[in-house]
A and B are shown apart, each in its own frame.
Chain A
Amino acid sequence: MSTTTPTESGGLAPVRTDSLAELLVAKERPPRPSAWSASMTFGWRAVLKIKHVPEQLFDVTAFPIMMVLMYTYLFGGALAGSPKEYIQFLLPGILVMSVVMITMYTGVSVNTDIEKGVFDRFRSLPIWRPSTMVGYLLGDALRYTIASVVMLTVGMILGYRADGGVAGVLAGIALLVLFSFAFSWIWTMFGLMLRTEKSVMGVSMMVIFPLTFLSNVFVDPRTMPGWLQAFVNNSPVTHLASAVRGLMAGDWPAGEVAWTLGWSALFVLVFGPVTMRLYNRK
């Protein structure tokens, strides 16, 4: 009972109901994918999106390069005598700041993506529910890694030398990407909570600017007034920047690493469940 119509509009091949019928006979269903496998599949979706829309890598390449150049030459002379000396202090910090700032785009893309019909399909699948969001963030982790590599390369061209060697640099990047993954749950929450892309962007700015600037990324907090020091010294970004700076310099800043991991766990535990509540209700 094939319904092959010889003349097809627009060159579209006809539907072959006979082979369709054969395909439908197969009634066996594979077991449901594990939470890990489903998350990785969504991560793969994010990678495919990067492949098809490579423009979205702009914010993890051009923006970080700009940040390194700008801050090195703007502040270098004034703060550390010369840009070459300053970059030794600045690079790990600016790396942390840029990547943490880039995480903000997660909220915007979740907000626009979630409205698409394909999420209805994802939601009607019998899979581990958070895997959609986890996959999202796994794709973003790849973007953060790209940004880190780009910035390190530029930094090294400008004269940055990591005393921690390859191991120190890798450990630093790994910690940064892990923290960013955990921190991004704030953005998934805002992305699902707020109605428009604009409002997500607005709120993100309100959070990200104080959080990244009020840290030890640019200068030593000892030059700040006491009340500000209290905030800066306890900010997660400060802990992260110190940890990454230490790792890349070849120290093993156990305390700062522990603080960073603690903050990461806190972000996931608080904002993960809130995100999932919002996701399920959408």
Chain B
Amino acid sequence: MSTQTSGLAIETAGLVKTFGETRAVDGVDLAVPTGTVYGVLGPNGAGKTTTVKMLATLLRPDGGEAHVFGHDIVREADEVRGRVSLTGQYASVDEDLTGAENLVLLARLLGHRKPAARTRAAQLLEAFGLTEAAGKQVKHYSGGMRRRIDIAASILNTPDLLFLDEPTTGLDPRSRNQVWDIVRAVVAQGTTVLLTTQYLDEADQLASRIAVIDRGKVIAEGTKGELKASVGAGSVHLRLRDPEQRPIAADLLRRALDAQVQTDPDPVALTARLAAAASHDTAAEHAARALNELARAGITVDNFSLGQPSLDEVFLALTGHDTQQPRPGRDDSHDPKDEVAA
């Protein structure tokens, strides 16, 4: 309908994709502002990949419509393809070829002449720290190296819009941080990034707006501040020295933090779920106060960690059900914790 998408890189209305009985994407409305990182957060099978594939013109929607920079993704697929670039969830480079060959191949397909293609490939390999691995077949790359070559392949021409489908799933924390740095560098040069992820902290780190999707539907959308306010500030996990003291500690935390306190099966463990950020204190400030109170009451804390709300908690807060669905998933959503020394 409206091709007037001033300031919007992506605009979808009622986007639908079905696979037989499965409504993989079930009426998704998105509005992604140009020049920002937009996070799409959802558990396994939520429909993230399907949405991205439709927007990258790889799948035809069964209903609704979508515009990328004002171009209809079905009728003007070629214009869309000229401006976007996709790093798929699973390696989207040729495993049999070397890293350098992959980049030269794709640069040639983008219209670069051979010398220019070679130069661009070499520069990107250098910037991505892959010069040494340039002559190795991609199938011998580590997970972190694969992700890098994959992203490098997506920015051979600086795209106006870059899709990153779960770019850090399965990476160790250091590789993950490096991918984040790459994303920040890309966006700093004016490229819009649509990033899908299962990790709230990743969306929190990178995205300015976040859409939470579940079972093909957008169940929450907003800036990360808005989202967090509706979810809560996170949780404090404690391990006490003496299990006898747990009831007292639980009571204390409940009063000090105004939090819901759960006693874990482990007799010395406690989890306090911090309430929505009604006050302007950060989760860390809450936690510091709690530790103080415990120390004053003579309770010894062996281990302490502060966790951002996990995807499970986000879902519990937003939908009342957790991420466990009848649909088969690959792995459990994890709970990235910022470890704090006790």
Contact = CB atoms under 8 A, between A and B. Distances in A.
A43 to B, nearest CB: 11
A49 B174 CA distance: 33
A281 B60 CA distance: 8
B96 A9 contact: no
Contacts of B85: 124
B142 A10 contact: yes
A223 interface: no
Interface residues of A, number: 45
Report, as a range, how many residues of chain B touch the other chain.
35 or more
A57 to B, nearest CB: 14
A229 interface: no
Contacts of A14: 129, 178
Closest 4 CB pairs of A and B: A13-B129, A30-B111, A24-B189, A126-B81
Interface stretch (A87-95, A114-122, A180-188): A114-122
28 contacts: A8-B174, A9-B174, A14-B129, A15-B182, A17-B182, A17-B185, A19-B126, A20-B128, A20-B185, A21-B189, A23-B158, A24-B191, A27-B158, A29-B111, A29-B157, A30-B113, A32-B111, A33-B110, A33-B111, A48-B105, A52-B98, A52-B137, A116-B95, A117-B88, A117-B90, A120-B58, A122-B109, A124-B81
B57 A124 contact: yes
Nearest to B95: A116
B329 interface: no
Contact of A125 (B110, B174, B181, B185): B110
Given A12-B145, A52-B97, A281-B60, 19 more contacts: A10-B142, A12-B129, A17-B182, A17-B184, A19-B127, A20-B127, A21-B189, A24-B191, A30-B111, A30-B112, A32-B110, A44-B108, A120-B88, A121-B88, A121-B106, A124-B57, A124-B81, A126-B81, A127-B109
A10 B188 CA distance: 29
Given A32-B111, A124-B58, A124-B81, A15 B95 contact: no
Contact of B86 (A26, A29, A33, A124): A124
A52 B185 CA distance: 34
B153 interface: yes
Contacts of A3: 177-178, 181
A73 to B, nearest CB: 38
Contacts of A41: 105, 108-109
Interface string B131-150: 11000010000101100100
A123 B217 CA distance: 26
B267 to A, nearest CB: 36
A243 to B, nearest CB: 36
A269 B184 CA distance: 48
Interface in B73-119: 78, 81-82, 84-86, 88-98, 101, 105-106, 108-113, 116
Contacts of A16: 126-129
A84 interface: no
Contacts, number: 149
B186 A30 contact: no
Nearest to A123: B58
B3 interface: no
B123 interface: yes
A32 B108 CA distance: 9
B93 to A, nearest CB: 6
A38 interface: yes
A117 B92 contact: yes
A49 B106 CA distance: 15
A161 interface: no
A126 to B, nearest CB: 4
B238 interface: no
A23 B127 contact: yes
B111 A24 contact: no
A18 to B, nearest CB: 8
A125 B56 CA distance: 10
Interface string B153-173: 101011000000000000010
Interface in A95-128: 116-118, 120-127
A85 B132 CA distance: 58
B16 interface: no
Contacts of B91: 116-118
Contacts of A121: 86, 88, 92-93, 106, 153
A15 B105 contact: no
A52 to B, nearest CB: 5
Given A29-B157, A30-B111, A124-B86, A13 B81 contact: no
Contacts of A31: 111
Nearest to B130: A13
B233 interface: no
B124 interface: yes
Interface in B33-66: 53, 56-58, 60
B282 to A, nearest CB: 24
Contacts of A281: 60
